[in-house]
Amino acid sequence: MRRPTARNVSFLAVAAAVVSIGAAVPPTHAPPASTPPVKTPVAVGQGGAVASVDADASAAGIEVLRRGGNAVDAAVATAAALGVTEPYSAGIGGGGFFVYYDARSRTVHTIDGRETAPRSADASLFLENGRPIPFEEGMTSGRGVGTPGTPATWETALDAWGSRPLRQLLRPAQHLAEHGFTVDATFRSQTEANRARFADFPATAELFLPGGELPVVGTVFKNPDLARTYREIGREGVGPLYHGPIAEDIVRTVRKPPVRDGATRVVRPGDLTLRDLRAYETVRRAPTKVSYRGLDVYGMGPVSSGGTSVGEALNMLERTDLSKASQAQYLHRFIEASRIAFADRGRWVGDPAFEDVPARGLLSQRFADSRACLIKDDAVLSSPLAPGDPADPVDCGSTGAAAPTTYEGENTTHLTTADKWGNVVAYTLTIESTGGSGITVPGRGFLLNNELTDFSFAPADPAVHDPNLPGPGKRPRSSMAPTIVLDHGRPVLALGSPGGATIITTVLQTLTGHLDRGLPLVEAIAAPRASQRNQTTTELEPGLWNSPLRAELEAIGHGFRQNPEIGAATGIQRLADGRWLAAAEKVRRGGGSAMVVRPSR
C-alpha cells in the first residue's frame, strides 16, 4: 500500500491563510486556483527551507518562515497541512517522532510522540483462544488504535522551542480543509485501494466516498469537519483531544466502531478510555549519537529502532572506505550491515519504560566491530540471522534465536525544516497503514491510527523474550528514523523517510550515498534502493532489479525480490556558503516538494 502524493491548491490561497502569522490580519478565503503550486525536488536559497511530500504543506511551512516563524513553527504548520492533504499518511489521529537542532546551544533534542496502548492491554491484546487474530482484522479495528500522540507533540515542541501560537500555525491547514485541494490520480488510487473497508464505516465513506463514488481527479476535495476540529484546537489548545469533547468522540468511536448496517466485516472494538487519553504524555528523550567520518549523526532513540539501527550499521560500515568501493561492493556491504542491524534490533529494542534496552551497547563501536566481522566480501549471511549480545560482544558471535521483522505500515510521511537562525527539524509522523484503521471519528474529519499493530501479535519463539509484545500504556516499536548530522556542532544535513521497516535502510542508503559516494543530496534521495531487513531475500527497486549489478550480487549468493517503490525521503543540507538546500523525491510517490524562503538564481 502506498501513501497519496502531493495535491494541488493555490500557493496564494495558502499564503493568504497564513498572512495573520505575525500580524493581526484575518485570513483571506480565496477559492483554490486552477494552477497548482510549483512542485520541485530541489531548491537552494536563504531564509530557511522546507521539504515534504506535498507542495501545499511545504508552502504552508515556507510562509511561516517568511513571516518570522522558526523551524519548529514551520514543522507544525507543515504537519498540520499534511493532515489535510495526506490524510491516509498522517494527522491528529496518529503519532510520530520529532528531532530538533537548536542553533543557539548547538544541541539536539527529541520528542517521542508515539501512540500508546490502553492501560488494560497485555501480551494477549491480539490473541483469541490463544492464537493471533488475522492481521487484517487487527488492522481494521478499534483494537489496533493507540492514544494519538501528534497533537501533544505539537504542543510540546511549541512550548519548548516555538515562537508562534498553535492557533496561528493551524490556519493554513484549516484553510486547506475548508476550501479544499485538487484530487490527483494517486489520491484516487489510494482511496480505491481502501474502498471496501472505507465503505463499511459511514463517517469514512461520507468523507472519502461521497455519494458512494471515488473522488474524481481534478475535482476539489474538502474536509469541513477537520476544518472545524482544527479551529477548536486552535481556540482551546490540544486539551479537548485528550480530556474534552474530541477525546470523548475518539473513545466512543474506538469502543464501539460505527459500522454500517449489513456489513460482514469483523470489526473488533478497542478498550481505549478517557483515562488513557488524559494520561498521555510525550517523552523528551536523549537522542542517539554516533560518529561517522568525523561527523556526529543524531537520531531517535527507543522506542524507535531508527536511531540505534542506523547508528549500528554506520559503525559497521565505517571500517570500509565506501568511497573507493565498486558499486557492487558498496551495495553488498550496505545490505549485510542492514541485515545485522535488523537482527539485533529485533532482539533488543522495545519501549524502554518496559524493557531494558541496551541502546548504549548497540551503538558502541566495540559491538559494531564484533558484528562487522561477519561480513565477507565473497559470501552472504543467511537470514534470519541470530542477534549479538551488546553486553558481551564476541567476535562474529551470536546469542539466542533470530527474531523476525514485524510488519510496519508504509503509510507515513516525513518533513524537514530549517530557519534563518540555523535551527533544524526532522519530523516523521504517521497513522500506520494506508488510511490507518479506516475508521473516521464522526464529525471530526480525521482517521484513527492502527499503530498498535506494530506490536508483535505473539512471540515468534516462546522460548525467547520478545521486547515488542503489547503491554499497558506501552508504545510499539517503530522504525522511524528522523536524522540530523552535525559537523563540529553545526548542521550538515537532516533527513528522514516514510516506509515502515524500510525507513531504516532508506535513511542509511541516503546517508552513505551522500556522505561516502559523493552524490548530491537530491540524487542520493533519488538513487534506486535496496532494503534488507534480516529476511531471506533483499528487496530491490526496478532501477537495481533491472541492472547488471543484480547479477553481480547474485553471483556471491544474494537473493532478491522486487519492490516497485521503497521510501519517500526528504532532506535539508546546509551549504558551505550558508545557504540552505532542500531536497525531496523526484519520482517516488508522485515526487516531493522542496522550497526555500528566498531562492537563489
Answer yes or no: are the C-beta atoms of 133 and 126 closer than 8 Å.
Answer: yes
**H or E element in which residue 181 lies:** strand 181-182
In one-letter notation, the amino acid at residue 36 is: P
Three-state SS string over 322-375 comes to CCCCCHHHHHHHHHHHHHHHHHHHHHHCCCCCCCCCCHHHHCCHHHHHHHHCCC
Q: Which residues are 52's β-sheet partners? A: 593
Query: Sheet containing 538-540: which strands, arranged edge to edge?
Result: 530-531, 538-540, 560-562
Of the candidates 305, 291, 404, the one whose C-alpha atom is nearest the C-alpha of residue 357 is: 305
Give residues with Cβ within 8 angstroms of 181, minimum separation 6: 7, 8, 9, 32, 56, 84, 85, 220, 221
Cell of 357: 534496552
HSE, CB side, 13 Å, CA atoms: give it for residue 150.
Answer: 33
Give residues with Cβ within 8 angstroms of 228, minimum separation 6: 445
Pairing of strands 490-496, 127-128: unpaired
Q: How far, CA to CA in Å, does 83 sit from each of 25, 57, 417, 427, 531?
A: 25, 9, 17, 14, 28
Q: Give me the residue label for grid cell 474536509.
A: 223
Answer yes or no: are the C-beta atoms of 86 and 53 closer than 8 Å.
Answer: yes
Residue of 147, 406, 412, 506 marked active site: 412
Answer yes or no: are the C-beta atoms of 562 and 545 closer than 8 Å.
Answer: yes
Of the candidates 480, 465, 459, the one whose C-alpha atom is nearest the C-alpha of residue 305 is: 480
Q: Which region, left, alpha or beta, applies to residue 115 given φ > 0 means left and ψ of -120 to 50 means alpha?
A: beta
What is the rounded CA–CA span in Å between residue 399 and residue 368? Answer: 15
Q: Which residues are 292's β-sheet partners? A: 295
In one-letter notation, the amino acid at residue 40 is: T
Answer yes or no: are the C-beta atoms of 494 and 298 closer than 8 Å.
Answer: no
For the chain, how far is it from start to end, CA to CA, in angstroms?
A: 39
Q: Within a 10 A sphere around the Cβ of 225, how many other Cβ atoms? A: 19
What is the rounded CA–CA span in Å between residue 467 and residue 143? Answer: 20
Answer yes or no: are the C-beta atoms of 343 and 389 closer than 8 Å.
Answer: no
**H or E element in which residue 85 lies:** helix 71-85
What is the rounded CA–CA span in Å between residue 315 and residue 80? Answer: 36
Of the candidates 437, 472, 4, the one whose C-alpha atom is nearest the C-alpha of residue 250 is: 437
Pairing of strands 483-487, 295-299: antiparallel
Q: Say whether 282 is catalytic.
A: no
Residues marked active site are found at 412
